[in-house]
Amino acid sequence: MTITYDFSGQTALVTGGARGIGQRIAADLLKGGAKVHVFDLSPCEDDGITGHIVDVCDSAAITAALARIGPDLDILVNNAGITGGTASVTASDPALWRRIIEVNLNSVFEMCRLVIPLMQARNFGRVVNMASVAGKSGSPGLSAYSAAKAGVIAFTKSLARELGDTEIRVNSVAPAAVETDLLGQMAPETVQTMIDKSPLGRLGTVAEISAIVQFLCSRECSFNTGATFDASGGRLDY
């Protein structure tokens, strides 16, 4: 599945874009004609995409990397995230809890805090934040991840309303379980539970998630902002 929009002359930045969902999103933006940059702790090996080794929780590192990209930034996809494994609330490591919140939620704030002014200066931009069905329904054993993704959804709504008088659109995507190596951080029974909850009875694919993101990054996405687009295989009904 490849849905291509025209991103000619635009510059895009994808966090967590060295593999998985982010890698496919970056590749599809490139196919659409965008100049694509990736922030990741792992090297980006995709031809035509500029990789930057950046900790998206480190504002100084983000600032330095943005200076290398330049002020013309049209698209930001906040995709970086970790699940941190599966554990009950009472068995959770408080340090790991804070790290999960830091990577999945605080990094979205840091990226937007530093990128939005660049978009405001040109009165145009598209921001897509990767949430999760866990942020809507909660997932047992993934309390920190669920809380962080719920925060992403609320943050997206708040930021979109702040920017309602501009040509900057801010939306989020809430996938269910998708076929990526991120699932390896979860217990197999947790993954199977996610599959069993879906009326389609399967995992999603990176191509299916990217197809939604491509629209949200496009100029055609002109009347959608502050929304959460579910990609749950029918699991969510609200």
Catalytic residues: 145
Three-state DSSP class for 238? coil
Tell which residue, 151, 121, 116, has the closest CA to residue 228. 151
Question: In angstroms, rounded to a whole number, what is the distance separating the alpha carbons of residues 222 and 118?
Answer: 19
Enter the tokens of residue 46.
């995709």
Per DSSP (E only), the strands in 54-116 are 75-78
The CB-based long-range contact list for 49-52 (8 Å cut-off, 24+ gap) reads 49/17, 51/17, 51/18
Q: How many CB atoms lie within 10 A of CB 75?
A: 28
